[in-house]
Chains A and B, each alone.
Chain A
Amino acid sequence: MNYLRHILSDRLWSLIIKEVQQILHNKQIIFLLLFPPTVQLLIFGLALNPAVTHLSLGVVDYSRSADSRALVSALVENQVFQVQTYESRQGDLENQVRTGQVTAGLVIPPDFSQSLARHQPAHVQVLIDGVDANTAGIAQGYMKQIIQRHTQTLNAGQRLPVETEVIFLYNPGLLSSWFFVPGVIGVVLTLTGSLVSSTTVIREKDVGTLEQLLMTPAAGWEILAAKIAPLFVLLMGDVLLASAIGRVIFGLPFRGNYGLFLLLSALYVLVCIGIGILLATLANNQQQVVLISFFFNVPLIQLSGAIAPIESMPPFFRALSFFDPLRHYVQIARSLILKDVGVEALWIHILALSVFAVLFLGVSINRFRTQLS
């Protein structure tokens, strides 16, 4: 029995050595592990910002009074709106909204100033290009808010009955990058992990060495374990790289236990490798595996809440997102990076990730021996 164990570990060792040597000979894989994650993190972290500024505004001012000018300057004051054109006729403004030259239009009637002077409600008309529903919504919100506040300053003294005083917890500056970067770390691990692991497996199939490998006494799990071990180490390097970028460039607070974060990231890396290997056993060649992983990765990312909030999804997709491993990792990453929570708050996600890891790797190992038939 002892002798047998010795042979087994010997065989696994040879397999691992071989994988490591192949990775060392393959510059492409090192590039794949370093370059895309860095670029993706920087692009998502720096460029993705849901706040809307500098909306182009067209104005038709029939009133031509100090009051109307005061309203317009209130609108452009905090750079949310920017006056693009002054038109003399409402028709021209409508045309500009239609052709997309301006996003919003403001029509101030001739009796604006007079109405204000008579302490009667004055009416202004706002035209908003609703094609980009999100921006339109935000523009409408801002417009209402600004006009309301402007009205308040006009009848100073009269205060509103309830005033809200909001305190933002965990992300006091409401930095959007704090929201995105932990999610993008998950996205990067998913893309890189599944791609790198599927290519190392599919390459054996492409070249024809897989047949030879399957003919050796090595068991399916040994072959896969040998493939997973070096990739796991490399992808954990990616986790460290990503958290370094998050800390240094985006100033993420990492309030939770960093050890726990690494441990759970390791679990997620196993899930990603599992996805990659599973795809590789399904596909017949490199091209196929890349196309299939596109098919899987895009919905995986969309449903995860890494980029678009889960709260904005219809109920069906919200339920579906529970079967998305990335969603659980994103939740874990955000909680551990931005808040200081422990396992007790995350156990459901940890359980889900464990189930996914066991499922993907288990199915891969099972399929591995029979995939040639």
Chain B
Amino acid sequence: MPAPLSPTPPAALEARSAIAVQGLHKSYGSVEALRGIDFTVQPGEIFGFIGPDGAGKTTTFQILAGVMEATAGQVSLLGKPPGQAQLNIGYVTQKFSLYPDLTVLENLRYSAGLRRVPAARWRERAPHLLGQVGLDAFGDRLARNLSGGMKQKLALCCALVANPAVLLLDEPTTGVDPVSRREFWDLLAAVASTGVTVVVATPYLDEAERCHRIALIYGGELQQMGTLASLRQGLGLQRLEVWAADIAQAETVLQGATVSGLVDIQTFGDRLDVLVTDPGVADQQVRQHLAQQQIHVDRVQHTTPTLENVFVNHLRQQGLDPPYLSFPTAQTGQTLGKVAIAARSLQKTFGSFCAVDHVDITVRHGEIYGLLGANGAGKTTTIKMLCGLLPASGGEIELAGQTANLSRPEVRSRIGYMSQKFTLYDDLTILQNLTFYCGVYGVPKRLQRQKINWVLETCGLQGQEQTVTAKLPGGWKQRVAFGASVMHEPDILFLDEPTSGVDPLARRQFWRQIRDFARRGTAILVTTHYLEEAENCHSMGFMVAGRVVAQGSPSQIKAEQPGQLVEVVTDRTQAAADCLKHHLETWRVAIFGDRLHLVLDDLDGDLPRVRQWLRESEIPIQAANPIPFSLEDAFIGIVQRAHASPS
């Protein structure tokens, strides 16, 4: 039996921890959201929560912030119950907690006023804070006119204005582009280094790798907790990245073959990720199996598993993998290779502002094309023009072989579209929604039942079709919406951030379906802020300020990156980052958990200088190794270089 919430926390916990939680329970009626959670967070630590939708993350945050009472268990923040510690807590929620009709400064002043910050202190602190996040030039701008990344930085400032000892951040970066996300995390690291305790939840697992410790929460319980290294170790697996000629074929072969200690195979764009217990033996066997089928293997790289591997593997062991069902279709992929979407010199101007500037894109049937870019780079505008929601200011569009009258019903019925702004009718039941989309897209009556069943089964919602859609958690809605947008077997599919807010397991299922559609000949144009999943694309274009600045396959783009990525291991990561940012451009330095990533143009010349700078600051280096670029590193490099030299 959990003890009732006691107003005075145990002395032992109080001594060192900033946050101490013991046996935390929370029930909503008969639903148990939290079933006994224990953890402590040290001052200055960044503690990350990861977990699927509806795992209990938000409930935990609400209890920590003192806005909700626990059913049972002990919670203490800074040695006090949460309700009494509120003035020392900064809390940023999923939705932007700003007033859109107030300016940046007014928002900040309002938060300061709420937390009883003296006027003199506010005057001194506000410019400092805004300068730190790069918003000092935007003091008079209305919050609603800020980009997503700027809004979240402002929300962070509002939380920091009262100088809190504890910062609670509930998915602060959902829907924010990688550049802004990285800046946001740099800020967090800087804040934590001043002794502020940070607890953060995020659906982006690459981001979670930057936490000091990570807790995997599922079903209201903490499943795993530890540093990134200890979680990887706990997994006991190694990852093989396999580059082969025919990835689709290779995946099928390996799934059928017996490779000793093979746990998981996943396609990532132009490579296969294979999780194995013994990399040496498995490497041999993989090469053998593929050679037997005459599949040429370019190379196999041994590397450590990612946090996503840990997450997915753990939830799989719990039997939480959503079922994979092949889409019932007669499509055969005869159109493969033909041009499906083509934009030539596409332009869009709003007044004097050029949102899309001479963009050329070609997507063939069977191809997955990723359009990547920061918020406001023009991705959504491009997609809207391509699918005819916005008239283009200039250039040519070809869609399904047509160049004129793209909004005719005959053209539209061959297109599927799913936007980030979620698109089911909340007030209708799931079944009513699906029936409606079947009808409006003209799916023949005899096939409707079959397609609707497929959506319900893949989403694990059989028996719940009469539920009102508003009651579904966000991630589930997203999956139903995807189903609704493909029931009519579109030849062309536009997906605008389809996986925003979807947990990693569902995200994998999503991509498997997307790949399946591509194999059957659907041309797919997708945007995402999640660069790990962008690896699934066959080719991609990076947009900066309305222009496509780089195009190619993920490997090409990474290979074309000038310079070399270096991972530096040191005890004093933050100090090292601060030191190096004095000498190098700031974007070249990024903190990943307990490591430092550096982008160096000339490895042999620059690395010794880096070592020397750190030596001068008396920061010892344990290791410094060149590692391959991730797509995110490439993305940030491309964006920053494009900004530095606008051509």
Selecting from A78-86, A133-141, A208-216, the interface stretch reads: A208-216
Pair A10/B442 contact, Cβ less than 8 Å: yes
Which A168-220 residues have C-beta < 8 A from chain B?
Answer: 207-209, 211-212, 214-219
- Asked if A216 meets B412 with Cβ closer than 8 Å, knowing A11-B439, A18-B436, the reply is yes
Within 8 A of B (CB), among A329-373: 369-370, 372-373
Which residues in B have their C-beta under 8 angstroms from that of A373? 389-391
Residues from 372 to 425 in B contacting A, C-beta threshold 8 Å: 384, 387, 389-391, 407, 409-410, 412-413, 415, 417-419, 421-425
B435 CB–A CB distance under 8 Å: yes
Query: Within the assembled complex, what's the spacing in Å between the Cα atoms of A373 and B391?
Result: 7
Q: Quick check: is A21 within 8 A (CB to CB) of the other chain?
A: yes
- B426 near A207 with CB under 8 A, answer yes
B428 at the interface (CB under 8 A from A): yes
Q: Assess whether A22 is in contact with B421, with CB atoms less than 8 Å apart.
A: no
B278 interface residue (CB < 8 Å to A): no
B440 within 8 A of A: yes
B432 at the interface (CB under 8 A from A): yes
Given A13-B439, A216-B440, A217-B409 in contact, is the A209-B425 Cβ separation under 8 Å? Answer: yes
For A13, the closest partner residue in chain B by CB is B439
Contact A212 B417 (CB under 8 A): yes
Bound CA span A356–B428, Å: 34
Q: How far is the CB of A98 from chain B (nearest CB, A)?
A: 47
Shortest distance from the beta carbon of A286 to any chain B beta carbon, whole Å:
15
Beta-carbon contact of B409 and A14 below 8 Å: no
> Contact: B412 with A215, CB < 8 Å?
yes
Contact partner of B440 (CB less than 8 A), chosen from A26, A208, A218, A369, is A218
Is A15's CB within 8 Å of the partner chain B?
Answer: yes
A212 touches B428 (CB 8 A): no
Contact check, B389 vs A215: say whether CB atoms are below 8 A apart: yes
A residues less than 8 Å from B418 (CB atoms):
212
Contact residues in B for A369 (Cβ distance below 8 Å): 407
A5 at the interface (CB under 8 A from B): no
Residues of B within 8 A of A22 (CB): 425, 427-428
Task: Say yes or no for B441: interface residue by CB 8 A criterion.
Answer: yes
Roughly how many angstroms separate A15 CA and B435 CA in the complex, as a whole number?
A: 10
Q: Are A219 and B409 in contact (CB under 8 A)?
A: yes
Interface presence of A159 (CB below 8 A): no
Interface string of A16-37 (1 = CB under 8 A from B): 0110011001100000000000
Q: B487-509 vs A: 1/0 string, CB under 8 Å?
A: 00000000000000000000000
A7 within 8 A of B: yes
Cβ contact of B423, chosen from A21, A209, A217, cutoff 8 A? A209
A21 to B427, CA, bound (A): 9
In the complex with contacts A13-B439, A14-B436, A373-B390, A217-B413 CB distance below 8 A: yes
Contact (Cβ within 8 A) A208 B390: no
- Cβ-defined contact, A21 with B410, below 8 A: no
Are A7 and B415 in touch, CB under 8 angstroms?
no
Bound complex: CA of A215 vs CA of B494, how far in Å?
A: 10
B177 to chain A, nearest CB (A): 20
- Whether A11 touches B425, Cβ cut-off 8 Å, given contacts A211-B389, A373-B390, is no
B422 and A14 within 8 A (CB): no
Please give the distance in Å from B484's CB to the nearest CB on chain A.
9
CB closest chain-B residue, reference A372 = B389
Please judge, given known A-B contacts A215-B415, A216-B440, A219-B409, whether A18 and B428 are in contact too, CB under 8 Å: yes
Alpha-carbon distance between A244 and B422 when the two chains are bound, in angstroms: 44
Whole-angstrom CA separation of A208 from B421 in the bound complex: 6
Name which of A13, A15, A207 has the most chain B CB atoms within 10 A of its CB.
Answer: A207
**Chain A proximity of B203: nearest CB distance (Å):** 20
| Chain B neighbourhood of A208, CB < 8 A | 419, 421-423
> Are A11 and B440 neighbours in the complex by a CB distance under 8 Å?
yes
Partner of B412, one of A14, A18, A21, A217: A217
Interface code A127-164, partner B: CB below 8 Å = 1, 0 otherwise? Answer: 00000000000000000000000000000000000000
Cα(A17)–Cα(B384), bound, Å: 28
In the bound assembly, the distance between CA atoms of A23 and B415 in angstroms comes to: 29
Q: Are A217 and B389 in contact (CB under 8 A)?
A: no
Given A11-B442, A215-B417, A18 contacting B427 (CB threshold 8 A): no
Q: When chains A and B are docked, how far (Å) is the Cα of A9 from the Cα of B419?
A: 27
Given contacts A14-B439, A208-B419, A373-B390, contact A21 B428 (CB under 8 A): yes
Q: Do A17 and B436 touch (CB < 8 A)?
A: yes
**Distance of A217 Cα from B441 Cα, bound (Å):** 6
Chain B hits for A209, CB < 8 A:
423-425
Tell me which residues across on chain B come within 8 A of A216, comparing CB atoms.
412, 437, 440-441
Docked complex Cα distance between A219 and B423 (Å): 18
Rounded to whole angstroms, the CA-CA distance of A373 and B413 in the bound complex is 22
* Interface residue ranges of A75-127 to B (CB < 8 Å): none
Q: Is the CB of B439 within 8 A of A212?
A: no
Residues of B within 8 A of A26 (CB): 427
Query: Do A25 and B439 touch (CB < 8 A)?
Result: no
Q: State which of B417, B426, B432, B468 has its C-beta within 8 Å of the C-beta of A18.
A: B432
Question: Whole-angstrom distance between the alpha carbons of A215 and B486 in the complex?
Answer: 13
Residues of A within 8 A of B412 (CB): 215-217
B419 and A212 contact, CB distance less than 8 A:
yes
Residue of B nearest to A204 (CB): B425
CB A312 to nearest CB in B, in angstroms, measures 42
Q: Which residues of B contact A370 (CB under 8 A)?
A: 391
List chain A residues, Cβ under 8 A from B435: 14, 17
When distances are taken between beta carbons in the complex, the residues of chain A under 8 Å from B437 are: 216
Residues of B within 8 A of A211 (CB): 389, 417, 419, 421, 423
A218 and B412 CA atoms in complex are apart in Å by 8
A151 to B439, CA, bound (A): 83
The residue in B407, B419, B440, B442 that gathers the most chain A C-beta atoms within 10 A of its C-beta is B440
Which of chain A's residues has its CB closest to B407's CB?
A369
For A17, list chain B residues within 8 Å (CB): 435-436, 439
Q: Which residue of A lies closest to B414 (CB)?
A: A217
Contact B427 A25 (CB under 8 A): yes
How distant is the Cα of A38 from the Cα of B485 in the complex, in angstroms? 43
Identity of the chain B residue whose Cβ is nearest the Cβ of A218 in the assembled complex: B440
How many whole Å from B494's CB to the nearest CB in chain A? Answer: 8
- A151 CB, min distance to chain B CBs, angstroms: 68
A372 close to B390 (CB less than 8 A):
yes
State in angstroms the CA–CA spacing of A212 and B417 once bound together: 7
B425 proximity list for chain A (CB < 8 A): 18, 22, 207, 209
Complex interface residues of chain A between 307 and 342 (CB less than 8 A to chain B):
none
B410 touches A217 (CB 8 A): yes
Instruction: Report B442-486 residues with CB < 8 Å from chain A CB.
Output: 442, 468, 485
Complex Cα–Cα for A158 and B518 (A): 107
A/B interface sample: 23 pairs, CB < 8 A = A7-B442, A11-B409, A14-B435, A15-B439, A17-B436, A17-B439, A18-B428, A26-B427, A207-B425, A211-B421, A212-B418, A212-B419, A212-B423, A215-B387, A215-B415, A216-B412, A216-B441, A217-B409, A217-B410, A217-B413, A217-B440, A373-B390, A373-B391
Q: What are the nearest 5 A-B pairs in CB distance?
A: A14-B439, A208-B421, A217-B409, A212-B423, A215-B417
**10 extra A-B contacts, CB within 8 A, seeds A11-B442, A217-B440, A217-B441:** A11-B440, A15-B439, A208-B419, A212-B419, A212-B485, A215-B387, A215-B389, A216-B437, A217-B413, A217-B442
Chain A residues within CB distance 8 Å of chain B: 7, 10-11, 13-15, 17-18, 21-22, 25-26, 207-209, 211-212, 214-219, 369-370, 372-373
